[in-house]
Amino acid sequence: MEACGLICEKFAKLLSPSDVSRDEMRIPPEFCFKYDDRMALAFNLILRTGYRLPVRFNPDKGTLDGLLPLYRDLGLNGGELLVLEYYGRFDMNLYVIGTNSSEIEYPHMVHDLQTCKPLKVTLANGGWRFTISVDLSAEFDDEIDLPQEFLDVCATGFPRWARIILRNGKVFIGTYDRDRRKLSCLRTMHEILGRDNLENIHILVFTYDGVCALNVTAFDKELVEIVFPGTPTSNGERGYGFEITVHHSHMLKFCHGVDISREYKDLCNVWGRRNYINVYSGESAWRLQVRKRSDWKRTTIHDGWVEFRESLGLEVGATLVFHCAKESCNHFSVTVIKQEPDDI
* Alpha-carbon span 202 to 204, nearest angstrom: 7
pLDDT bin (cut points 50, 70, 90) of residue 134 is confident
> Beta-carbon neighbour count of residue 149 at 10 Å?
17
User: What domains are defined for the chain?
Assistant: 1-121 (2.40.330.10), 123-228 (2.40.330.10), 241-343 (2.40.330.10)
Summarised one tens digit per residue, pLDDT across range 244-265 is 999 999 999 888 889 999 999 9
pLDDT-derived band at 90, boundaries 50, 70, 90: confident
pLDDT band at 159 (very low <50, low <70, confident <90, very high): very high
pTM of the shown model: 0.90
Question: Over the stretch 169-221, which tens digit does the pLDDT of each residue have?
Answer: 889 999 999 999 999 999 999 888 887 888 889 999 999 999 999 999 999 99
Classify each residue of 220-252 as buried b or exposed e, where b means 16 or more C-beta atoms within 10 Å of its C-beta. beebbbbbbebbbbeeeeeebebebebeeebee
Reported as a single tens digit per residue, the pLDDT across 28-69 is: 999 999 998 999 999 999 999 999 999 999 999 999 999 999
Q: How confident is the model at residue 21 (pLDDT cuts 50, 70, 90)?
A: very high
* Torsion angle in degrees (nearest 10) through CA of 46, 51, 57, 62: -70
> CB count, 10 Å around CB of 178?
12
Question: Helix or strand or coil: residue 132?
Answer: strand
Please enumerate, as own/partner, the contacts of 92-95 that have beta carbons within 8 Å and a separation of 24 or more: 92/43, 92/44, 92/45, 92/46, 93/1, 93/3, 93/45, 93/46, 94/45, 94/46, 94/47, 94/53, 94/70, 95/47, 95/48, 95/129
Quick: pLDDT tens for 280-313: 998 899 999 999 987 777 899 999 999 999 999 9
Neighbours of 209 (CB within 10 A): 16
Q: How far apart are the first and last CA of the chain?
A: 42
